[in-house]
């Protein structure tokens, strides 16, 4: 059978595809594109319900055609790290953005950087890893969007913390940050 994962590994690795379509169909498997400091360029990008784009590196999409997450998951970092989308990003109601947080330094949590505009919906999943739990007042710059931001996430899921954690979001310039309101 076919592999369910394509890996683009190394800063010298560049994969140029026409239309990047990840995870479409009714099969039970999952289609995954993993970047390990790699670079993928596509005219259009679309992630369906069985799809995932994860890792560190850069993903280019043509101007005017956003990376569209109809379903499935975008997961920056490989515990943790930074994923850059050179272009626009659109996350729809069935889409999921999975972010890991393992500390307060920017190298300890995932970051998604979008050089164009973003339209947000769907789920933001925050996974606290390595036993890390935030303290009141700590801030995590999870998203950096250089263009316009429309809408917001429909729901936020918190993983690996005790119930009752209070948080908020702040926007400062191009950064969208998670702010811990309680320990």
Per-residue pLDDT of the chain (183 residues; tens, 9 = 90+): 556 889 999 988 999 998 998 987 666 678 999 999 999 999 999 999 889 999 999 999 998 899 999 999 999 999 899 999 999 999 999 999 999 999 999 999 999 999 999 999 999 999 999 999 999 999 999 999 999 999 999 999 999 998 899 999 998 888 999 999 999
Let me know if 13 is exposed, middle or buried by CB neighbors in 10 A (0-12, 13-18, 19+).
middle
Concatenated DSSP letters for 135-164? -TT-EEEEEEESS-EEE--SEEEEESS-TT
Looking at residue 132, its pLDDT comes to 97
Nearest to 181 by CA among 60, 172, 169: 169
Statement: the pTM of the whole predicted model exceeds 0.85: yes
pLDDT of residue 79: 84
| pLDDT computed for residue 150 by the predictor | 92
- Token pair in block for residue 49: 């319900």
């Amino acid at each position: 059978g076919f592999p369910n994962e394509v890996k683009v590994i190394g800063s010298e690795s560049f994969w140029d595809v026409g239309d990047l379509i990840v995870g479409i169909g009714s099969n039970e498997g999952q289609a995954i594109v993993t970047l390990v400091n790699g670079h993928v360029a596509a005219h259009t990008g679309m992630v369906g319900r069985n799809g995932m784009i994860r890792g560190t590196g850069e993903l280019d999409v043509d101007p005017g055609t956003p990376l569209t997450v109809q379903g499935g998951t975008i997961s920056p970092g490989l515990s943790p790290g930074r994923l850059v989308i050179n272009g626009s990003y659109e996350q729809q109601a069935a889409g999921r953005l999975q972010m890991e947080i393992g500390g307060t330094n920017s190298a300890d949590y995932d970051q998604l950087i979008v050089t164009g505009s973003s339209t947000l919906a769907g789920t933001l999943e925050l996974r606290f890893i390595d036993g890390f739990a935030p303290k009141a007042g700590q801030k995590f710059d999870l998203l950096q969007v250089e263009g316009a931001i429309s809408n917001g996430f429909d729901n936020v899921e918190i993983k690996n913390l005790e119930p009752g954690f209070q948080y908020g979001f702040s926007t400062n310039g191009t950064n969208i940050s998670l702010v811990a309101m309680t320990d």
